[in-house]
Amino acid sequence: MLGGMLQNVAVAVVDGVHPFELGVLCEVFGLDRSDEGLPVYDFAVVSAEGADVATHAGFSLRVAEDLDRLEEADLVAVPAGDDFSDREFPRPLLAALNRAVDRGATVLSVCSGVFVLGAAGLLDGRRCAAHWRHAATLARRYPEAVVEPDVLYVDDAGVTTSAGTAAGIDACLHLVRREQGSAVANGIARRMVVPPHREGGQAQFVDRPLPRAKSDPVSGVLAWMERHLDREVTVEELAARAHMSPRTFARRFQQETGTTPYRWLLGQRVLLARELLEGTDETIDAVAGRAGFGNAATLRHHFGRWTGTTPQSYRRAFRGEGRRS
């Protein structure tokens, strides 16, 4: 029995679909990883425009399923495609997306697939993510949408939107984590050889003139921080480890991660707390200590702000889900 409400996954494609973004969805949800105790999703690719779907890469896909398959899906995903910012989409697809949200399913877009959700009216009044190259166009075309161009993904009231290709992986793993817990999301990420969670936003990917050197001192400090989440540290201490002034270190850290040292550390501590709540029987006080929060009250405060629930409620919801197939 799967945990949460994520078992049946359908991906809707139209002409011009980008194979890589489609492949992201197939990789996360379409592979059988039951040999490692991970869920097997009821997965299908469906076409909104007939059995033969053209890709932007010069080859076509033969798709057996039609839009009827969307009516039973827990998650309906729409990958990116060519010219999505200025084309019309099949009305039956837009109607099906609205029905999915109305009945409590989640709708997910990868990169420019967000324009399909906009055409369906699903962005009106919602926060949404977009690739930094598409954000201004999306905001102009759908003025009722609250476009956040600096984030990797947004989950807002049944509609999840992601920025570029890798951010699509982040959004998929977020949905797995939300419904089935960190252990399942981490297991899938490990098989894919990708980070289970990335902190920060698109600022780290926009107009970056030079690649980061392997000996970048900020990378070394990040690795040290990951190993010492239970330690109280200051920016001054971290800067000293990087052999920088605090001001220079804070600026470089923001460039590398898209966030501040304090917020990055909080996010990693919350992630560790989630894993401990799921995978151990330790008390809330013990989890707070190991995750670097010091005491249960501080853990409850930050955990609630990041996840919208309490540590106790989270443990009840996800305890042991990662060990089920």
Q: Go through the domains of the chain in sequence order and give each one's CATH number.
A: 8-192 (3.40.50.880), 208-258 (1.10.10.60), 263-323 (1.10.10.60)
Q: What is the rounded distance in angstroms from the CA atom of residue 11 to the CA atom of residue 73?
A: 9
Residue 322: predicted pLDDT: 40
CA distance 195 to 36: 18
Looking at residue 145, its pLDDT comes to 93
Q: How far apart are CA 323 and CA 325, in angstroms?
A: 7
User: What confidence score (pLDDT) does residue 110 get?
Assistant: 96
Res 321: pLDDT: 44
| pLDDT confidence of residue 206 | 35
HSE of 120, CA atoms in CB hemisphere, 13 A: 25
- The pLDDT of residue 208: 31
Nearest Cα to Cα of residue 79 among 91, 61, 99: 61
Q: What is the pLDDT of residue 306?
A: 82
Determine contact, residues 11/77, Cβ cutoff 8 Å: yes
Whole-angstrom CA distances from 98 to 71, 73, 240 are 11, 13, 53
- pLDDT for the residue 65: 95
Q: Which pLDDT score is estimated for 275?
A: 85
Q: Which stretches in the chain have pLDDT values below 70?
A: 1-4, 196-215, 258, 319-325
* pTM, entire model: 0.68
